[in-house]
Structure 1
Amino acid sequence: MPDPADKTVLRLREFLPYRLSVLSNTVSRGIADLYDRAFGLSIWQWRVMAVLGENAAITATEIGQFTAMDKVAVSRAVASLLDSGHIAREASLEDGRRALLSLTAKGKDVYEQIVPIALGAERNLVSALSAEEHAQLDGLMEKLARAAAPDRDLW
């Protein structure tokens, strides 16, 4: 058993990457429960739809870049959303080898119903912070994002 006085012991409760991951997963799962019950969508499917709601006609690779999802998760979410009719795929006019994804009318309808749910959940979460704390959190998140990925913007 590690000696608690030993500073080289990893204490997960104090380890920022662990804490951020657990917080992110908990927040995502809480919101996902809301749209899963109503629309039968997974976290990964909703993330793909959310990106397509903001960025029409992009590739699965670009979705992976926007969301930091791995290729397998993006591929599975895209396949299921194609099967369910929420998204469509068509060849790029500039490069027929590239497949562009976009929301279908059905997908847009679901997207427009989920957005207020997601924004309401965000408001509920942020209501735990004062306006000053919220601004500080935004600034701190920007700093951490730049430190984690100095070569690109995360959002």
Structure 2
Amino acid sequence: MALSRCRTPLRLIVVFVTNNDLFAGVSVTDPAQFRLQDFLPYLLNHAAEEAGQGFSRIYKDRYGMLRTEWRVLAHLGQFGPMDATRIGIMARVHKTKISRAVTALQDKRFVTRTLDGDDRRRATLCLTQAGQAAYTDLAAIAQDYDRTLLARLSAEEHAGLLDCLRKLGGDLPKD
């Protein structure tokens, strides 16, 4: 693709980016110097996919779950009953994906959905006994899996990584 054909759209993007508070003070460099393999969002996504791949096989093989189903189960297991909207906000997952995951977890008899008496559009999600057992099993495996991943890092690297990820990740759910 010739850059000369893209000058106007690039200028529009530059105006947008430089007007965004997140990018205030960032200088626009030559696009020819861009290296995807050094782009932080790309690296973070790649690391997350690589790190999560082994664990995703475990919850898929043991319980037939997909990633969003595991995330819903984990949020309910750790934080207790809540509505799907709250899970979506905490997990940063779109409501349609949460809705599909909740339906799949209901089909597996891992989650119950209780309609709110005042607002029938709202429902509280709760783990069933089977859902709690699956969560307990997977949470223990997740802790072991996490320890295995972190064994690749020194204590200093581990602390630094967690600090950086928390800074970049914004507000994470609290215990």
TM-score, length basis structure 1: 0.86
> Compared with structure 1, are the counterparts of its residues 131 and 94 closer, same or farther at alpha carbon in structure 2 (3 Å cutoff)?
farther
CA RMSD of aligned residues (A): 2.0
Distance 2:104 2:63 in 1: 13
The 5 Å alignment of 1:64-143 reads 64-92=88-116, 95-143=119-167
Shift of 1:118: 0.8
Distance 1:2 1:67 in 2: 40
Between the two proteins, the alignment pairs up a number of residues equal to: 147
Deviates more, 1:31-40 or 1:89-98: 89-98
* 1:49 pairs with 2:73: yes
TM-score, length basis structure 2: 0.77
Distance 1:42 1:57 in 2: 20
The 5 Å alignment of 1:12-23 reads 12-23=36-47
Query: For 1:65-96, what per-residue CA distance to the aligned partner results, in whole angstroms no more than 9, with x for missing partners?
Result: 11111112111101111111110000235644
Q: Which amino acid in 1 is paired with 2:168?
A: L
The SS at the match of 1:128 is coil
The aligned residue for residue 25 of structure 1 is: 49
Q: In terms of Rg, which structure is larger?
A: 2
The aligned residue for residue 30 of structure 2 is: 7
The SS at the match of 1:143 is helix
Structure 2: runs of 5+ lacking an equivalent = 4-28
Structure 1: runs of 5+ lacking an equivalent = 147-152
Q: Which amino acid in 2 is paired with 1:8?
A: P
Contact preservation (8 Å) 1:28, 1:43: no
Distance 1:143 1:27 in 2: 19
The SS at the match of 1:88 is strand
Distance 2:106 2:88 in 1: 16
Contact preservation (8 Å) 1:53, 1:111: yes
Contact preservation (8 Å) 1:58, 1:101: yes
Distance 1:143 1:114 in 2: 27
Distance 1:39 1:16 in 2: 33
Shift of 1:135: 1.0
Shift of 1:8: 1.3
Distance 1:128 1:139 in 2: 17
Query: For 1:8-62, what per-residue CA distance to the aligned partner results, in whole angstroms no more than 9, with x for missing partners?
Result: 1332101000110111122222211012112211111111000000122201111
